Amino acid sequence: MIKFDEANKIFHLQTKNTSYVFGFLKDRFLVHLYWGKKLVSEQLDYDMFLDYMKYRRNMCASDYNDIRLSRDCLPSEFSTFGNTDQRTPSFHAVYKNGSFITELSYDSHIIYKGKKPLKCLPATYVENDDEADTLELTLKDELTGIKVVLSYTAFNELDAITRSVKVINTGADRVRLDAVLSAVVDFKDNDYDFIHLPGAWARERHPERVSLMTGKQIVDSARGNSSAQHNPFFALVKKDTTESMGDAYGFNLVYSGNFTAGVEVDPYNTSRAFIGINPFGFEWQLESGEEFVSPEAVLVYSDCGLGGMSRIFHKLYRTRLCRGKFRDIERYVLINNWEATYFNFDEEKILNIAKKASEVGVELLVLDDGWFGKRNNDNSSLGDWYVNKEKLPGGLTQLARKVNELGMKFGLWFEPEMVSPDSDCYRAHPDWCIHSKDRIRSEGRNQLVLDLSRQDVCDHVYNSLYENLSTVNISYVKWDYNRTMSNIGSALLAADKQGEFFHRYILGLYSVLEKLVAEFPDVLFESCSSGGARFDPGMLYYMPQTWTSDDTDALERVFIQYGTSMCYPYSAMGAHVSIVPNHQVGRTTPISARGNIAMMGQFGYELDLNKLNENEIEAVKEQIKTYKKLGSVFHSGSLYRLVTPENGNFVSNEFVSEDKNTVIVSNCVMRAVPNSPVYYLKLQGLDVNAVYLLEETGKCYGGDILMSAGIPYQLTKDYDTRILVFKKQ
């Protein structure tokens, strides 16, 4: 619900449990007033929220004829550069005369039910207009003709608010946009910890929690993708906030390219949080009559700690970001040949893997890298998306048919955004890659990145996949992206538009994906980027799951999946059982641990089942049966992180089905110690008046007992795992 107090010029956005309030102070200054627990009072005024300002003293420039007022002291709702607010701006533009001052004032606003899609960009959505209210607030700079439309959507039941910005040039002259952030929120103090998700290849999204400090704390990417190094997510939490209690404010950007996100603490201990496209490397020439739309920012508040914040993100993304046939159904148990064969395979090897997989209950075989062109290693053939007849003389059609005859579906790996210098594609079109004239074209993994800011290149990528998907019975596509961008430049962009390249690339990528998922609604697409280097909400809009990491070691996956779950649901996490010793870290873990940790995500195998012994094969059969029984709860249930893995010893995750009838507790000992302590697992999210049967023992417990006293649990061996299932009686 969104209310507007005409007399006080205050907007009040309400979700089920939260309020977000801002308005026009002195009919002129757009100020942020409140974000937190839901306010029931109908009488809101500026003194309630800004009274603390009378205690502020500063030496900042006063604002025009009001010597008592400086915008550097005001909590701004949308900040511009060049006036007396000298903190991080939401918006920065350069005009024809070289000026970079923008002075926005109220122009108009509309409030309506529902939510409109963003032009050419992924975004959350509603299926019924009653699910949300939207505010479009238009501000205008009278001198330059720039209009800025601030869009806010308040979801009624999901406790999420989304923001985006549209810039319209109604003036006569071109304007250069240097920064258009999607959301800025000012907090009254700096008594927060900053949580973000740093990482690297095979070590993605390991949460880091640090205190705010004076100055700026920023995470970002200028790599062309959202990256493994940082994720377009961060949270501000009070010092005493835990998994289950305390204030948690989450910020996430629905975007797959360069981003910036962070907090600026000023000398007066106020904090400005911001998120949006990275201004570094960004310049957008906005011609007269044109508009620019920023990506959507998702803002979530919970007073139930980090767990409460995560559950809001999870449900929103599961139900109102992911789309299509596979959003609500359980997906396939798959087997991928990559770690089983790498490039060294032929049809016989693949079919031997498929035959054994079909016997144990696997539903889908995925043929990974090496099936096309002359691809026998990573030195060639990207861009040549025709079958390698030396490996597969009967072609993909024959292989897919034989896999289907085994009762399994067939899936295929692509890396459509890349090209090998040793390829027919590159030899025919050397200008199709990202490059800068007269500069050396630096390679990563012996490949270059195709220039998706160009329509002809986008057409090539689309047509390459269309040709394969329309002629072969393919049920699944793994879409990979194995390097970041360098030597930035496009042969078709004018010199003064090269700063538009990064964003135009992402728009080109999204346009290709939108066409493909519309054309092939029965194909399950999974995103991948050297593992999890593009695990972001933008990709989830087109592909409901992402390969979480190239690191398939069970212990490492405990940490990676934990960090990923801070914002993203387990239904979005591709997770496989691989061979031991593990190919990334050399660790040997029991197949039970590998299975129990993987089956919380989108479950599969990445090995040759023919190389397992009899006991391991039986374990695989049981894992698949268990997953088919419990997968829907892992993926659509509410997640409670009972014990997080930072302690290095023990981790426990609880999943509660939406109807609260099934409860799963997944436990793992990472490092056993002699005379280890007994863990009392206090469950959460149960019906306090119900009785729950523990299937393993047949014993019944009251919901209140499980949540208040807990159940004792002790594991005594390294990598020992157990899955406990409770059923409501």
Task: Give catalytic residues, as residue numbers.
Answer: 480, 550
Strands (E), 141-270: 146-155, 160-169, 175-187, 192-196, 208-211, 215-221, 233-238, 248-254, 259-265
Backbone angles phi, psi at 294, to 5 degrees: -85, 160
Residue 339: alpha-carbon gap to chain centroid: 26
What's the Cα-to-Cα distance from 419 to each of 239, 395, 427, 447, rounded to whole Å? 48, 22, 10, 6
Give the whole-angstrom CA distance, residue 156 versus residue 179: 31
Strands 91-94, 105-113: pairing kind: unpaired
Strands 573-578, 545-547: pairing kind: parallel
Query: How many C-beta atoms surround the C-beta of residue 422 within 10 A?
Result: 17
Query: How many C-beta atoms surround the C-beta of residue 698 within 10 A?
Result: 7
Spatial contact of 145 and 172, defined as CB atoms under 8 Å apart: yes
DSSP-derived secondary structure letter, 130: G
Nearest in space to 729 (alpha carbons), one of 686, 705, 700, 696: 700
Axis crossing angle, helix 591-598 with helix 614-636, rounded to the nearest 10: 20
Tokens of 456: 């002809």
Give the whole-angstrom CA distance, residue 129 versus residue 121: 20
Nearest in space to 510 (alpha carbons), one of 539, 477, 476: 539
Spatial contact of 665 and 267, defined as CB atoms under 8 Å apart: no
Nearest in space to 380 (alpha carbons), one of 444, 433, 446, 429: 446
Residue 81: alpha-carbon gap to chain centroid: 30
What's the Cα-to-Cα distance from 714 to each of 39, 60, 600, 652, 722, rounded to whole Å? 44, 60, 21, 12, 10
Burial class from Cβ neighbours inside 10 Å (0-12, 13-18, 19+) for residue 660 reads middle
DSSP-derived secondary structure letter, 614: H
Angle, CA 111 vertex, CA 106 and CA 114 arms, to 5°: 140
Backbone angles phi, psi at 570, to 5 degrees: -65, -25
Give the whole-angstrom CA distance, residue 168 versus residue 93: 12
